[in-house]
Amino acid sequence: MKIGILQADSVRPEFREEFGNYPGMIQLLLEASRDEEEDLTFTTYDVVQGEYPDELTACDGYVITGSASSVYDDEPWIHQLRKFVVRLHKTRTKTVGICFGHQMIALALDGVAGAADQGWEVGIHESTVVAAKPFMSPALDKVSLLYSHRDQVSKLPSGAELLAGHDFCPVSMYVIDSHMFAFQGHPEFVKGYSEKLMNFRRQMLGEETYLAGIDSLQQALDSRTIGRWMLNFLAN
């Protein structure tokens, strides 16, 4: 299976040597989650620089990364990505959206995504699964992932079905038919990277949010299972 990674941001240079860049994080997650017989290849498209596949069929499916940008920012590359997401939807091309990607799918397809009144959500948080699909195997009733966002989806796009949510982020995971799968959490992040981000943003987050986020890193994660869900979804 050939997976196209639509890179919407880069890891800060001072963190890159230790943690790599976002496409590498996603590749590591999916390779760690694959079955032995699964053959995976990856191609990265830097959408900030306007890089896209010549044909949608160049890859079996696409993953849209997270980004420090907001999906509602008035930037040419964001407008271009939004149009590309509409193409992916119209052609029913398999697409997974992570964080910014999750919000971009919603906004591009008549949903609503914007700054949340609650502010920042960081660290590990648990969502309750409210609907199960065949690709969500192995099954979970609760999903614990790392989060790092202050924007979120407040209205699902047409045809979307909510899969999971929690009080702070009611729309934390959704699916559109069998071709769009999106979630607010970051299964590709590791705890060390999350901690570095929180330390960097400590003043921006505020002390209460920062301390709660750091404390949450003691909890277990379901990242590998979500990686498996991503592969199941893209393959079927």
Calculate the CA 193 to chain-centre distance.
15
125 is catalytic: no
Q: Which two tokens stand for residue 199?
A: 């330390």
Catalytic residue among 59, 89, 99, 121: 99
Q: Which two tokens stand for residue 114?
A: 């914007």
CB 148 within 8 A of CB 236: no
What residues contact 152, with CB distance under 8 A and at least 6 apart?
103, 113, 114, 116, 121, 169, 171, 184
Distance CA 74, CA 101 (A): 16
CB 198 within 8 A of CB 207: no
59 is catalytic: no
Catalytic residue among 59, 89, 125, 188: 188
188 is catalytic: yes
Name the residue among 91, 142, 90, 102 with its Cα closest to residue 6: 102
Catalytic residues: 99, 186, 188
